[in-house]
A = this chain, B = another copy of it.
Amino acid sequence: MAMNVRTLCLGVLSFKEASGYELKKEIEEGMYSHFIDASFGSIYPALTQMNAEGLLTLRSEEQSGRPDKKVYAITDQGRAVLAKSLAVLPASNKFKSEFLFEMLLQHFVSKEHLDLAIDKHHTDLSEDLAKIAQKQLHQDKSKCDAGSLFVMGYGESVLRAALNYLEAQCPRLKKVKLTAAE
């Protein structure tokens, strides 16, 4: 599957129309954030190009004291291209975890630094879990999209497993959690 910025934008736009700026936000804050990054430097050119190719339509909204907001919407042709990308079986997961790389090479790192890295990872995992929990509440009230629910559930399971393992390996972390919960 071609998992690049183009496909990603088409995917997000298949839910609702958006500007480049809004896409970036959605990618950073939404479910997408867990599997990809995207910067303005890649998003804007991709949108311009796909608009020229007829995969997107463009509507300009005038703003006061700001550049026009360019709202893009996916076309039937765009949906076809997206569907074609999705029709290729997904490649296997890559975790791209600098944390695990660091752990693997722990004989190279001072104990202090290792503890710092572990604490940071612990915090990251906790925050991600909190974000998902919050989203699950919000989603409940609005439309219950099957895809989002599945991905949120998957993320929750995996993150919780990682957190549990981390706490089992480093009992020190449990206390942090308990004191924080009080």
Contacts and interface: CB of A to CB of B under 8 A. Distances in A.
A92 B160 contact: no
Interface stretch (A33-41, A43-51, A61-69): A33-41
A157 interface: yes
Given A96-B96, A161-B158, A164-B157, A101 B106 contact: no
Main secondary structure, interface of A, reads: helix
Contact of A89 (B101, B117, B155): B117
Contacts of A137: none
Interface string A88-117: 011111111111111111111100010011
6 contacts: A1-B101, A35-B95, A90-B98, A90-B117, A93-B98, A107-B145
Interface of A: 1, 3, 7-8, 11, 14, 31-32, 34-37, 79, 82-83, 86-87, 89-109, 113, 116-117, 120-121, 124, 128, 145-148, 150-151, 153-155, 157-158, 160-162, 164-166, 169
